Structure formats: C-alpha cells, structure tokens
Amino acid sequence: MRSTLFLFCLTFAASAQTDRGAIAGAVSDPLGSPLAKTTVQAKDTRSGEVHKAVSEPDGKYTFTGLPSGTYDVTVNLPGLKGFERKAVSVEAGKTLAFNIRLEEGTQLSTLGEDPLAIAADSRKHAPPSGPTPRTKDGKPDLSGTWWQPVTVDSGKPEFLPWALALAKERGDNNRIDSPQTHCLPGAVLRLGPIYQFVQSKDYLVEISDDDNPGFHQIYLDGRVLPKEANPQWYGNNVGRWEGDTLVVDRSGFDERVWLDQELHPHTNKLHVIERYRRPDLGHLETEITVEDPGALAKPYTIKRVSELAPTEQIYEFICGENNKDLPHLRGK
C-alpha cells in the first residue's frame, strides 16, 4: 500500500512538472541598454495569478515553473511608456525567449525624464517603515510627497475602434498634438514623476510634478458632483471616506485632455473612481476604475502602488517659460 502511494506521488509530481514552462529574456531601455532591478509581471489569463521576476544587472530575467497557458506580460517604469503584451503563450516543457525593449514616454526622454535620470531616481527609493499616520479625526493622513506610482495591474481596457484608431494616429504623428507639448495639462491617468498630497478635513490638494498647472482640489466636505459639470482639464473631484479608504469621484473632463500615456482619447462620458489606501507609513495603494461608454466597451480597473519620497521636493514648473520641445517636434 505504501509503495503504491509513493509511486502515485512520484507520478503526480512528474506530471505537474511536465505541465510547466518558462519565460526568459532581457529588459532594455529605449537606447538598447540593459535595465537592472526592473520588475516584469506575467499574469495568468486563466487563473488571474500574477508572477513577478526582477531583472539582473545585465537586464536578464526568468520565470520558471509557469503553468502552461497564456499570460499578459507587463513592465512599468516612470517616464517610459508602459509595456504590455497580451496572450503570451507558454508551452509545457519549453522556455519562451521574450526580450522586452521599452519605448519613450510622452516626454520623449527630455532632460530629467531620460533613462539615466529614471535609474538615478530608482536608486533613491527607500520608503520608511512605521504605522499609518492619522489626522485628528482618526482618518488616514495621505499627506506627503510620493514617487510616481508603479502599476501592478494594468487591467484589461477594451477601447472602441475609433479610440484605437485615434491613438494610433497620434503615435504615428509623433505625439505632436500632445497637450503637454503645448504647455497644457498631462493625461488624466498620468501622475508624477513625483506628486504630493496635502490633506485637510474639507479638501485634499493633489500636486503633480512636471505638469502645468499641476494641481487640483478634491473636496471632502460632503458635496456631490454637479449634474451639469463645467468641463475642466482635471475634472470635477469629490471624495468620501469608506472606512480607511478614500474614494474619489471624478467626472466632467475637458475632452481636449488625453486619457493616458498610451495616447487614448475619451469622451464627455468619462467617469473615474480612485480609491486610496495607506497601509503603512511608506506606501500608498491606489485602485482606479475607468468607465467611458463613448470610448470603452466596458470599464476597467488599474492598481498602483507608490512609495513615500520624504527627501524629495516639488519645484515650480512654468512650462511656457522655457518650452524647447515644440520647435523640435515634427509630425508626419
């Protein structure tokens, strides 16, 4: 009986191992240089399980022991365009060679947003430990300066054909019509390279570095969103507390602002719900649900995590004073 059980266990273990595969490759920046300490995520499209691998000094990474199936592979680094490849197939007993080369973000690697600056910033990350700070009324205090959030789950956006076509047109035209290029606010879902929250009882002010004007107010005084909102670049924003989670309701966005750094548009039906949670002193978790029946087949949700940047400071940014990008941009 024991022999039979032992043989069964060996057979089961061998079967489980033969049903596994691997992904291996290297991560590089837009110039082709290897990127070290970069997190690559592979999300099992069937189970939803997320696997993570961190690149070595030579940029190489490896996933081993992956159940055979398809995976959504993503990489997100501040200042660079997020990488995503859906339905990457992993076969049992095989290693898939999968190299990842990141592309320029909306800033086109201008000074401060280039790969060297990004790498230098990443070395500064050392979030302090400690309990969640709280305000006098017991609510979590979200105040502080934060590094640009890292996307841990990009969701599954399904844009309508017209929105996909317009995003492609903007990319093919070298983003020459980007609002940021013309000293107007960045995309709705863009935040950073660093950003700051200043919290009081009745409102929260969000200040984003390298944006113009770079700030907007979130009202916490119990008001509701207007039924006929005056369109604004940062939308109309009201918040409420659900336990220790701050829920921010946003609508009424100016249609000239782009939705994201992947160049997608939105319509006047755009509705964004942000959920902020500070689990400890050094981290801020954000969940963003985006719905827009005019541009999306269905809503999707993004999950991000930010680290506290207590030694960093946001300096004033007046885009029109020294905007050298525009004369050098050429469309097609």
Higher pLDDT, residue 317 or 107: 317
Residue 6 has pLDDT above 50, yes or no: no
Q: How far is CA 140 from CA 73, 148, 274, 284, 302, in A?
A: 34, 20, 16, 11, 22
Q: What is the pLDDT of residues 93-114, one digit of tens each?
A: 999 999 999 887 655 445 455 6
170-185 pLDDT, tens digit per residue, is: 989 888 889 988 889 9
Please list the alpha-helical segments (H only) found in 115-231: 115-124, 161-172
pLDDT tens digits, 121-157: 666 778 999 999 999 999 999 999 999 898 888 888 9
> Torsion angle, CA of 242/151/24/69, rounded to 10 degrees?
50
For residue 138, give the DSSP letter: S
- Residue 79 confidence class, pLDDT cut points 50, 70, 90: low
Residue whose tokens read 């905007």: 323
Spell out the domain ranges in the chain.
Answer: 2-104, 125-328
Q: Which residue has the higher pLDDT, 17 or 315?
A: 315
CATH class of 2-104: mainly beta
Average pLDDT, the chain: 88
pLDDT in tens, 190-200: 988 899 999 99
